[in-house]
Amino acid sequence: MSASAKLGGSSSSSLDEPKPEKGVFIVFEGVDGSGKSTVAKMVFDILSAEMPGRVVLTAEPTESFIGKAVRHANESGADELAEALLFVADRAEHTRQIRAWLAEGKVVLSDRYYASTIAYQGALLKDRLGGAKRAVEWLKAMNEPVIIHPDLTLLLTVSVKTAVERLKSRKDLTKFEDFRFLNDVDLIYRGLCMEDPSFHTLDASKPAQKVVQEAFLAIRSKL
């Protein structure tokens, strides 16, 4: 478990957080419409059958009062910096819970984690913070004291066109589900993937069963 490793793959950390020794922390990331929630649930069902009581499926934004505030901020059109800070606040609380599960030896599967903030808020705030690079740096710095570095980040990749088509067939789109916006999100995700060794890319244009099979090739090596 590489707890609190510095974002961006550098080896040192400014933190001396206690390291959860036993569990395994796996994160599912991807643009809306990539199918990550479906795949995370399928992986959870398979792993829980193999290891009853040892697997936890969790998600961000969470169901806590801060997670509710995040959703409220989005629905009420709150300031996007305020919203970014709320996502990180939600994560700080969530991380405390994840740390406890890992200390109990659980396999923790999280549907979204810090990379979602880097990618989504990076895309949203880039014009306001002097470009995508600066926005991403600020968001990484803010997340650094908050996160546990995942053992594995499964990035589900699909063309943004396909993702938006999938979303349109399901529901009304939110501000996070616009084609150009998701393209920016996708670019940031791909950049993170190049620099963070916990990332593993999955081709999410394939049927969910196939994506799950490929996910397990990476997951097994971490268990």
Q: Output the smallest distance, CB 109 to ligand TYD, in A.
A: 13
Binding mask 27-66 for ligand TYD (x = CB under 6 A): -----x---------------------------xx-----
By CB under 6 A, is residue 120 in contact with ligand TYD?
yes
By CB under 6 A, is residue 199 in contact with ligand TYD?
no
Residue facing ligand TYD at closest CB distance: 120
Q: Output the smallest distance, CB 183 to ligand TYD, in A.
A: 14
Q: Which residues, listed in sequence order, are joined to residue 57 by a DSSP beta bridge?
A: 109
Exposure class string for 23-32: b at 16+ Cβ within 10 A, else e = bbbbbbbbbb
Number of C-beta neighbours around residue 112 at 10 A: 23
For tokens 């004291």, name the residue.
Answer: 145
Q: Output the smallest distance, CB 220 to ligand TYD, in A.
A: 25
By CB under 6 A, is residue 116 in contact with ligand TYD?
yes
Q: Hey, which residues between 204 and 223 contact ligand TYD (CB under 6 A)?
A: none
Amino acid in the structure at residue 103: A
Which one of the spans 22-30, 39-47, 100-108, 113-121 is the region binding ligand TYD (CB under 6 A)?
113-121
Contact of 219 with 43, CB cutoff 8 Å: yes
By CB under 6 A, is residue 153 in contact with ligand TYD?
no
Options 46, 54, 81, 176; binder of ligand TYD; rule CB under 6 A = 176
Q: Residue 153 in 3-state DSSP?
A: strand
Residue 32 or 196: the one with the smaller Cβ distance to ligand TYD is 32
Give the CA angle between residues 162, 158, 222 to the nearest 5°: 150
* Dist. CA 2–CA 120, nearest whole Å: 24
Upstream peptide bond of 207 is cis (omega within 30 degrees of 0): no
Number of C-beta neighbours around residue 113 at 10 A: 27
By CB under 6 A, is residue 95 in contact with ligand TYD?
no
Number of alpha carbons in the 13 Å side-chain half-sphere of residue 15: 18
Tell me the number of residues near ligand TYD by CB under 6 A: 10
Binding site for ligand TYD (CB under 6 A): 32, 60-61, 87, 112, 116-117, 120-121, 176
